[in-house]
Amino acid sequence: MHESNSSVGKARTMDKNRRELLTKAGAAGLGLLATSCAALERRSPQPVQPAVQGPAVQVLYGPTPLEEMMREHGVVNRLLLVFDELVHKIREDQKAPVGMFTNASNLVDEFVGNYHERLEEKHIFPAFRKGGRMVELVEILNMQHTRGRRIAAEAYELAGSGDPTREPQRSRLISAYRKYTFMYRAHVAREDSVLFPALWQVMDGTEMRDLEERLKEEERRQFGGGGLDKVIETVADMERELDIHYLSRLTP
Ligand SMILES: [Fe+2]
Ligand SMILES: [Fe+2]
């Protein structure tokens, strides 16, 4: 399924600073290239032997492709918590950092819609289609990617077109964020618990190793030397501003 909704294209061109968050992360990452390379070396020297052995299982070095994708899901979940807190603040008429509505919507669109999901559509979903496994689930997940991009674009437009703490933007943003978080929590949970573990059924060890290299290359191309860590730090900054960063404080 292809993006055809005009709001998507409109949102992507309405602001020249639209990619600022990820660009900033990428630019900073160039300066941290040496640090990143050192980190890659630190995490790579010891072969990780999978617990389950079999003809398709191969020794991999560092995080497996599935671990990388699940780590990205962790970032997605933290962004969903940011959305939750923004909704909570404007529903309860609490002071909310107005600029964060735009920044959070932008980061979701860029990191989730234009990076993580593109990886799945390019490298994961085709393997299941080719293998004839879980094809119905894959098509639903693919359809939800398209829907999610439209909602994220809608949220970005709303956040940038007026005060998000006042009507009518307030109600429409709450609706957009709720639709997005509702769908994505189910989406990510299904990928983590059903689809990703089944990747071994449609890829052999060599294909998994190739996938690992492709994912690393895509990460370097997208984020520079900083890798995913820079995106995580950007999300952590948002959490600090919303006072939801310190895990112990989230204990009921
Ligand atoms: Fe997905
Ligand atoms: Fe995903």
How far apart are alpha carbons 201 and 70 in whole angstroms?
A: 18
Buried b (16+ CB within 10 A) or exposed e, 35-63: ebeeeeeeeeeeeeeeeeeeebeeebebb
| Ligand 2 mean position, distance from CA 76 (Å) | 8
Q: What gap in Å lies between CA 199 and CA 124, rounded to an integer? A: 8
- Write down the pLDDT at residue 202: 95
Question: Would you state the CATH architecture of domain 64-247?
Answer: Up-down Bundle (1.20)
3-class SS of residue 245: coil
Would you say 64 and 212 are in contact if contact means Cβ atoms under 8 Å apart?
Answer: yes
Neighbours of 31 (CB within 10 A): 12
Cα of 216 from ligand 1 centre, angstroms: 18
Give the E-state strand segments of the chain in sequence order: 47-48, 60-61
| Beta pairing partners, 48 | 60
Rounded distance from Cα 207 to ligand 1 centre (Å): 20
Q: What is the mean pLDDT of each run of 10 residues along the chain (252 residues)?
A: 44 43 42 35 44 48 81 96 94 86 92 95 96 97 97 91 86 94 97 95 91 88 81 95 91 90
Task: Please tell me the distance between residue 99's alpha carbon and the centre of ligand 1 in angstroms.
Answer: 27
**Ligand closest to CA 144:** 1
The closest of 112, 114, 134 to 124, measured between CA atoms, is 134
Ligand 2 centre to CA of 226 (Å) is 21
Query: Looking at residue 161, what is its pLDDT?
Result: 86
- Each domain of the chain, given as residue ranges in start order, spans 64-247
Give how far Cα 195 sits from Cα of 70, 131, 218, Å.
Answer: 11, 13, 21
Q: Give the per-residue pLDDT at 140.
A: 98
pLDDT tens column, 146-200? 999 999 999 999 988 888 888 888 999 999 999 999 999 999 999 999 999 999 9
pLDDT score at 115? 94
Q: Copy the structure tokens of residue 172.
A: 């429409």
CA-CA distance, 104 to 80, in Å (whole number)? 9
For 129-140, how does the pLDDT look when each residue is reduced to its tens digit (9 = 90+)? Answer: 999 999 999 999
Angle, CA of 231, 183 and 79, to the nearest 5°: 20
